[in-house]
Structure 1
Amino acid sequence: MRRMFNLGAALVVGALVATVSTTPAGAAGNGGGHGWVPAPQQPFDQPAGARCDFPIHVEAVLDEVRKKVLAEFPDGSPRREMYQGALLTRVTNTATGVSTLLDAGGMAMVEYATDGSTTWYVTGPVLFGFGENGGNLPRGAWLIDGQFVVEFSPTNFKTLTMVHGTTHNVCTDLD
């Protein structure tokens, strides 16, 4: 078990080191005038059936998430970004008022592809929503912790590949 954790950490760290070290000095990937900036998480609502059997409201209670552009496409849009920082999120069943507070302050490197797909290399915990037939996890609001990769297709189909960690459907805490 420990060997798998070390392998996962090495994969995530290796991807980050390769990203930062392969960009020439002064280029966008090495700062390019972009420092760390706040990346606030906006509150949102999901109707019954979208993620849980009941409607939910998700909002940050503590949000210190920041991001940094590591590389850009020629048009200046982000090609690769890093996200990190404390994030406490409250998820509420709006039909009953039952809520739970989650630590969702993981770290992620996100790569954007020209076809509209994205790949997240994550050291969790992070909260991801999966819709019905929208990925390789069942419908739910999933707290995913550990080392993992989430690939978003151009149609937003999510494929989770766990290196090491756990998944928990937060809907079960709010029922």
Structure 2
Amino acid sequence: MRRTAVALAAVAATTLMGAAPASAAGPAARSAGVGSGPAAGLDAGWEPAPSAPWDVAAGLRCDFPVHGEPVVDEVVRRVLDTHPDGRPKLVAYKGDLIVRVTNKETGDSYDADVSGTAVVDYRADGSQFWSVLGPVLVGVGEGAGNLDRGLYVVDGVYTLDISSSGYKKVTMAHGSTTDICERID
């Protein structure tokens, strides 16, 4: 029953957005403007949602310090609902995103394709509920999730529930996880 609910949430996310992830779109879709850049071919209401570079100290996700930086960032978002104060409540995201994750000690890096499609419910208490189809990058601290401490590409059909304290619970209907720390160690 739980897998059915997760699958339905992810299908609903895709249906709400009216498109498959840009990374899954074929040449015909790309020529029509899907995934051709943040401003090209956007339906009304979609806006660029760029990702910033980030750094994580040794021991927080991997045993070594990590730097992440988008090398392709065509992610767009659409606000579907707002809180009474005007802050976004329900937001859809789609588009190509490749993040270069680098071990700052060795210089080894991995280009993570995290071009998933998601609908995120930003709750009033600061928690978030993600309904996801495709890959996203998920960092988990020690004891702060149902995955071990690490940095993962989580791919498939799943939900991600992030509590107001930051605890991350991934519930898979179907999918896989790739440990990025292992790839750049």
- TM-score w.r.t. length of structure 2: 0.79
Aligned to 2:177: 167
1:1-175 to 2 correspondence within 5 Å?
A: 9-14=7-12, 17=15, 35-175=45-185
- Root-mean-square deviation (CA, aligned residues, Å) is 2.3
Provide the residue aligned with 2:27 in structure 1.
none
Measure the CA separation in 2 of the matches of 1:81 and 1:99.
31
Residues 82 and 19 from structure 1, CA distance in 2 versus in 1: closer, same or farther, beyond 3 angstroms? closer
Identity of aligned residues (%): 46
Gaps of 5+ in 1: 21-33
TM-score by length of 1: 0.84
Cα drift, residue 135 of structure 1:
0.5
Q: 5+ residue gaps in structure 2?
A: 19-43
Q: How many residues align?
A: 159
Q: Cα distance 1:160–1:7, how it changes in 2: closer, same or farther (>3 A)?
A: closer
Asked whether the 8 Å contact 1:8–1:164 carries over to 2, the reply is: no
